[in-house]
Amino acid sequence: MNSPFRLSRLLTLMGLSDPINGRGYLGPETLMPLASVLAAIAGFFLMFWRVIVKFFKTTYRKMRGLPEELPPDLDVEEPVEEQTEK
């Protein structure tokens, strides 16, 4: 018994490839709604990725008892007073 025949026999015994009941066929009418749902989920994450990551970062920091994330200190030079020539 070759392996492709064994696999098809196993699928038939498990009921996954039953052409009479149609449980083994995944056609476009079956896969398109699933693809649409997956695309909507991916689009949601792409649109709100920064907000989602920020939420999880703050939640993680609160759970660990770490201080809130502060913006980095910027080295701002004090404005040099213009020296007027007399």
Secondary structure of residue 54 in the 3-state scheme: helix
For position 29, what pLDDT does the model report?
Answer: 82
Q: Are 24 and 18 in contact (CB under 8 A)?
A: yes
In tens, the pLDDT along 8-59 reads: 666 666 555 555 555 666 678 878 988 999 999 999 999 999 999 999 999 9
For position 65, what pLDDT does the model report?
Answer: 86
Exposure string over 57-68, b if 16+ CB within 10 A, otherwise e? eeeeeeeeeeee
Work out the widest C-alpha separation in the chain, in whole angstroms: 106
**pTM surpassing 0.85?**
no
